[in-house]
């Protein structure tokens, strides 16, 4: 918990001083043309792919709470980017141990590209966070038979698609990984071979249905 808190504080400190910098074209367009409009307009207007829809919804909520300013428009991306550091640590710790996890968490917190996207009112930080959550939950469900977590995987995947179509890439990697887990029987004994495959296919189908 101390490490997670430290990574979160480090990520905040390296990002917060840039959150008021002048807005760039894409983020300004996204905020003004989509995020600041009525909610029904956000979810029905896709005349330009600048509308990262789920992110635009979050920008709209931030706009209602904080008003039309740079840091308010960037707050959803900022918060998502900050959380990638502790969640990156959690995923790396589950796979590689504490030392690699600490290196991973610090790297995510300090990498300039991650800091750049944290103060860019676009949906890319959100995609990164949702990807980490999906893989953390994937590592959990291969060890524990939990229907609800499989559903959360599908929900996070759908929210990713609702943000950007490029969510197809991390989801493809995730389901290929799950396929290999199934092939080499690296899942909990609480599953049968058939039931684990059913969960994989079911969560994938649910992701597609929710996305549509």
Residue pair 126/80 in contact (Cβ under 8 Å)? The answer is yes
Q: What is the pLDDT of residue 172?
A: 96
Could you tell me if residue 67 is left (phi over 0), alpha (psi between -120 and 50 degrees) or otherwise beta?
left
**Contact criterion met (CB below 8 Å) for 50 and 67:** no
Query: 193 vs 145, 146, 148, CA distance in Å?
Result: 12, 15, 19
Segment 79-103 shows an average pLDDT of 95
What distance in Å separates the CA atoms of residue 126 and residue 75, rounded to the nearest whole number? 11
Q: Compute the distance between CA of residue 70 and CA of residue 23 in angstroms, rounded to an integer.
A: 7
- Give tens-digit pLDDT for 11-67: 999 998 888 888 888 888 888 888 888 889 888 888 878 888 999 999 999 999 988
pLDDT digits over 97-153, tens only? 999 999 999 999 999 999 998 998 899 999 999 999 999 999 999 999 999 999 999
160 pLDDT more than 90 = yes
């Amino acid at each position: 918990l101390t490490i997670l808190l430290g990574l979160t504080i480090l990520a905040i400190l390296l990002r917060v001083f840039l959150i008021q910098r002048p807005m760039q074209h894409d983020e300004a367009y996204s905020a003004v043309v989509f995020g600041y409009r009525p909610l029904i307009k956000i979810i029905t207007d896709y005349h330009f792919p600048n509308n990262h829809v789920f992110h635009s919804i979050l920008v709209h909520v931030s706009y209602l709470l904080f008003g039309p300013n740079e840091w308010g428009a960037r707050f959803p991306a900022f918060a998502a980017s900050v959380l990638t550091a502790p969640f990156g640590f959690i995923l790396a710790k589950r796979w590689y141990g504490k030392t690699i996890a600490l290196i991973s968490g610090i790297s995510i917190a300090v990498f300039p590209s991650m800091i750049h996207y944290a103060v860019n009112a676009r949906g890319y930080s959100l995609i990164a966070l949702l990807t980490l959550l999906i893989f953390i939950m994937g590592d959990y469900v291969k060890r524990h038979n939990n229907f609800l977590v499989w559903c959360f995987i599908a929900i996070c995947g759908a929210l990713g698609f609702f943000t950007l179509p490029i969510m197809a890439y991390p989801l493809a990697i995730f389901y290929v990984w799950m396929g290999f887990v199934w092939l080499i029987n690296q899942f909990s004994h609480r599953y049968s071979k058939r039931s684990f495959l059913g969960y994989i296919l079911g969560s994938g189908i649910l992701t597609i249905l929710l996305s549509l």
